[in-house]
Amino acid sequence: MGQMAADRGKTANERPVLILSDGKPGHLNQSVAFARHLGLSFEIRPVVFRHRFCKALSYLLDRPGILTDSLFHIEGDLPECCAVVSAGSATYYANRVTAKKMNARSVAIMLPKGYRYDFDLIVAQEHDSPPDRSNILRLPVNLNFVVPAGLVTSESGHRYVSLVIGGNNKVFRMEPDSLERTVVDIFKRFPRHRILVATSRRTPPAVEAMLDRHPFAAKFFYSRDPANPIPDFLALSDYVFITADSTSMISEAVCFGNSCIEVIPLEGAGTDNKFLRMTRRLSDLGCLHIYDGEVAACSTKIDLSERLREVRLCA
């Protein structure tokens, strides 16, 4: 009771943002990045649907605007907040219900497909082709907030090139032989640089085995150690090569540091998907170059804090 009374006594810009999390790091990280770019404090609460059928029911109830908290469970007490922020389809209905209950603003990160688009604010990626609406802020990248962890430090007299490897997904597949040709070319092209490499949880074992055969100055294989050195790579590298399968990794690369960014194409299905739409757009902005055997000096960065400058939630 005492804490709740104290919360009610706070002015709007002193109250935190409530972030609802579906447990997926890629979704949670975007919500946290949103709060950090706005300079707002935040508290995180896990949310789950009570039963499997509740998610389907939430779509049906949302259409006529029927809001009930009986479909989901939020873990822990809820702070008095100025806004409810969340990313992912398992959070949007709970976001809307909770924001209304607490008289707070509702913010959806990513386009909440299947639900009504009448959140107070939707921060959507251009590659999802969001409609033109006054409450939708379009960004060419995923929200991110990059902070180096000190896993790699620059040594005086040395220059660096980094290679960031993703893996197979529903669009792309990663062929070790094809990727190895690019690896060999990078070593030939940058003989005086120290070459660093990092893999992800989706990287096939055969690809890690191939990479292990090459004389990288440092290897961060997710299968051995899930530490994330990518922010450090971006902070110290002249060039960063990234496979085309991850919008999150590419987003971080074009928003932080001074590196020139090269995106390595992968074998995939079709010529129009969100990954290709994103990289084409960022290429047009001069943020990256799609690697074609040559490199380019594409180092333009997107300032997300500036893009979010007009957002007012807690004032």
Kindly report, residue by residue over 195-239, the tens digit of the pLDDT.
999 999 999 999 999 999 999 999 999 999 899 999 999 999 999
In a domain, 23, yes or no: yes
- For residues 25 and 100, the answer to whether their CB atoms sit within 8 Å is no
In a domain, 109, yes or no: yes
127 and 169 housed in the same domain: no
- Give the chain's radius of gyration (CA, Å): 21
Domain end, chosen from 139, 174, 202, is at 139
In a domain, 302, yes or no: no
Burial of 195 (0-12, 13-18, 19+ CB in 10 A): buried
92 and 203 housed in the same domain: no
Instruction: Tell me the per-residue pLDDT of 61-99, one tens digit each, with 9 for 90 and over.
Output: 999 999 999 999 999 999 999 999 999 999 999 999 999
In this prediction, residue 269 has a pLDDT band, given cuts at 50, 70 and 90, of low
The mean of the pLDDT values for the chain is 93
6 and 110 housed in the same domain: yes
- For residues 220 and 199, the answer to whether their CB atoms sit within 8 Å is yes
In a domain, 304, yes or no: no
In this prediction, residue 14 has a pLDDT band, given cuts at 50, 70 and 90, of confident
7 and 115 housed in the same domain: yes
List Cβ neighbours of 204 (8 Å cut-off, separation of 6 or more).
167, 168, 174, 176
128 and 169 housed in the same domain: no
Q: Please determine, for residue 19, whether its predicted confidence score (pLDDT) is greater than 50.
A: yes
In this prediction, residue 310 has a pLDDT band, given cuts at 50, 70 and 90, of confident
In a domain, 186, yes or no: yes
Confidence at residue 1, expressed as pLDDT on a 0 to 100 scale: 33
- For residues 179 and 208, the answer to whether their CB atoms sit within 8 Å is no
111 and 209 housed in the same domain: no
Q: Please determine, for residue 31, whether its predicted confidence score (pLDDT) is greater than 80.
A: yes
116 and 56 housed in the same domain: yes
The domain in which residue 197 lies consists of 160-290
Q: Please determine, for residue 161, whether its predicted confidence score (pLDDT) is greater than 70.
A: yes
Q: Please determine, for residue 189, whether its predicted confidence score (pLDDT) is greater than 50.
A: yes
Higher pLDDT, 115 or 271: 115
Two structure tokens written together for 312:
């007012």
Q: Please determine, for residue 313, whether its predicted confidence score (pLDDT) is greater than 50.
A: yes
72 and 114 housed in the same domain: yes
Confidence at residue 312, expressed as pLDDT on a 0 to 100 scale: 86
In a domain, 84, yes or no: yes
Query: What mean pLDDT is predicted for residues 167-194?
Result: 95
CATH for 90: 3.40.50
Confidence at residue 268, expressed as pLDDT on a 0 to 100 scale: 78
Q: What is the pTM of this model?
A: 0.89
The Cα–Cα gap between 75 and 68 comes to 16
65 and 128 housed in the same domain: yes
Confidence at residue 106, expressed as pLDDT on a 0 to 100 scale: 98
Range 201-204 contact pairs with CB under 8 angstroms and sequence separation of 24 or more: 201/167, 201/226, 202/166, 202/167, 202/168, 202/169, 202/245, 203/165, 203/166, 203/167, 203/174, 204/167, 204/168, 204/174, 204/176
Show the CA angle centred on residue 187, arms to residues 262 and 245, nearest 5°: 35
Domain count, the chain: 2
Instruction: Tell me the per-residue pLDDT of 282-305, one tens digit each, with 9 for 90 and over.
Output: 999 999 999 999 999 999 999 999
Q: Please determine, for residue 6, whether its predicted confidence score (pLDDT) is greater than 50.
A: no
Confidence at residue 13, expressed as pLDDT on a 0 to 100 scale: 54
State the amino acid at position 32 in one-letter form: V
103 and 187 housed in the same domain: no
Confidence at residue 315, expressed as pLDDT on a 0 to 100 scale: 63
In this prediction, residue 2 has a pLDDT band, given cuts at 50, 70 and 90, of very low
- For residues 264 and 182, the answer to whether their CB atoms sit within 8 Å is yes
251 and 212 housed in the same domain: yes
The Cα–Cα gap between 280 and 293 comes to 17
* CA distance readout (Å), 157 to 154, 161, 193, 195: 9, 14, 10, 14
Instruction: Tell me the per-residue pLDDT of 43-58, one tens digit each, with 9 for 90 and over.
Output: 999 999 999 999 999 9
Domain end, chosen from 104, 139, 174, is at 139
- For residues 9 and 82, the answer to whether their CB atoms sit within 8 Å is no
CATH for 200: 3.40.50.1950
In a domain, 183, yes or no: yes
Query: What mean pLDDT is predicted for residues 170-197?
Result: 95
- For residues 61 and 67, the answer to whether their CB atoms sit within 8 Å is yes
134 and 244 housed in the same domain: no
In a domain, 313, yes or no: no
